[in-house]
Amino acid sequence: MNWLDQVKWDASGLVPVIAQEQGSNDVLMFAWMNREALGKTAELGRAVYFSRSRNKLWFKGEESGHVQTVHEIRLDCDNDVVLLKVTQLGHEPGIACHTGRHSCFFSKLEDGQWSAVEPVLKDPESIYK
Amino acid sequence: MNWLDQVKWDASGLVPVIAQEQGSNDVLMFAWMNREALGKTAELGRAVYFSRSRNKLWFKGEESGHVQTVHEIRLDCDNDVVLLKVTQLGHEPGIACHTGRHSCFFSKLEDGQWSAVEPVLKDPESIYK
């Protein structure tokens, strides 16, 4: 049985994916994959997601240069969520977020409000030329 | 504006949630919340999810005793994914998974197969009596 057949794809043929930084264990981002994206990720050793807004494969870093090398692919107990251990390339420290931040999870609930608590490491306008 | 209004709930009124262990930064589990669950989580300082299979609030640990204390609630750049920083209570080391393991992400892709690479810390039959 192919390992891809053991993943429980949702009604849209997708699975949620968490990208975690190897070493720091920081959660960098959350995205989706279809079967082809997960297959390509394993084959290439780099993160390939499925963009729901553009309805096509999204080779992470294809525009920004912020490619993710994939060290491990994990699956959860229900076979319906994937966790990647990655190295975030293209900038030091790594930038996973399109806002130019290390992680997409930069908003923190404080006193009943969402506050941006992580710095912008690079101006997004200079990332997406 | 209420902070809960800033969350982009999906068509089912849910948002994906990642639970990450404070300190180790291990990703423990992935689940869903509706508006009420996220409000309760913030109010009580403990993780309250929404069970899609049981279609009701799921006070994490209500059966197992494996309650999660919530230290931080974060939101991603698209306002549609939540990240919790938690302490996993009820066992040392913490057990987040219903299989009796520390984390739900215990299956690792190795040589084209999913292999369980994390130990069972407690027999599930003795967790769910």
What's the per-residue H, E or C state across B58-119?
EECCCCCCCCEEEEEEEECCCCCCEEEEEEECCCCCCCCCCCCECCCCCEEEECCEEEECCC
Please give the Cα distance from A123 to A97 (Å, whole number). 11
Across the range B17-40, mean pLDDT stands at 98
Whether residues B98 and A77 touch (CB distance < 8 A) is answered with: yes
Residues of chain A found within 8 Å of residue B97, distances taken between Cβ atoms: 77
Hey, is A107 helix, strand or coil?
strand
State how far the Cα of A87 lies from the Cα of B28, in Å rounded to an integer. 20
* Of the partner residues A3, A74, A78, the one whose CB lies closest to the CB of residue B112: A3
Q: Do B105 and A74 touch (CB under 8 A)?
A: yes
| Total CB pairs under 8 A between chain A and B | 94
State residue B17's pLDDT score.
98
- In 3D, which of A97, A77, A107, A108 has the Cα closest to residue B28? A77
Contacts of B106 in chain A (CB under 8 A): 74, 77
Regions of chain A short of the pLDDT cut 70? none
CB spacing of A30 vs B18 below 8 angstroms: yes
Q: Does residue B13 register a pLDDT over 80?
A: yes
Segment B35-75, tens digit of pLDDT: 999 999 999 999 999 999 999 999 999 999 999 999 999 99
pLDDT at A129: 72
pLDDT score at A128: 83
Give pLDDT tens digits for A21-58. 999 999 999 999 999 999 999 999 999 999 999 999 99
The residue range of the domain holding A47 is: 3-127
User: Tens digits of per-residue pLDDT, B70-80?
Assistant: 999 999 999 99
Q: Residue B73: its chain A contacts at CB < 8 A?
A: 108-109
Answer whether 0.95 is exceeded by the pTM.
Answer: yes
Residues 6+ apart with CB under 8 A from A113: B3
Collect all residues from B whose CB is shorter than 8 A from any CB in A: 3, 6, 16, 18, 20, 24-27, 29-30, 42, 72-79, 81, 83, 97-99, 101, 104-109, 112-114
Chain B CB contacts of A104 under 8 Å are 76-78, 81
pLDDT of residue B129: 73
CB B60 within 8 A of CB A53: no
User: What is chain B's mean pLDDT, rounded?
Assistant: 97
Nearest by CB to residue A108, choosing from B72, B81, B109, is B72
Predicted confidence band at B7 (pLDDT cuts at 50, 70, 90)?
very high
Q: What is the CATH number of the domain that holds B20?
A: 3.10.20.810
Q: Do A114 and B25 touch (CB under 8 A)?
A: no
Say how many domains are in chain B: 1
Across the interface, whether the CB atoms of B77 and A101 are under 8 A apart is answered yes
Average pLDDT for residues B13-34, to the nearest whole number?
98
- Sign of the dihedral through C-alpha A38, A43, A47, A49: negative
Residue of chain B whose Cα is closest to the Cα of A1: B113
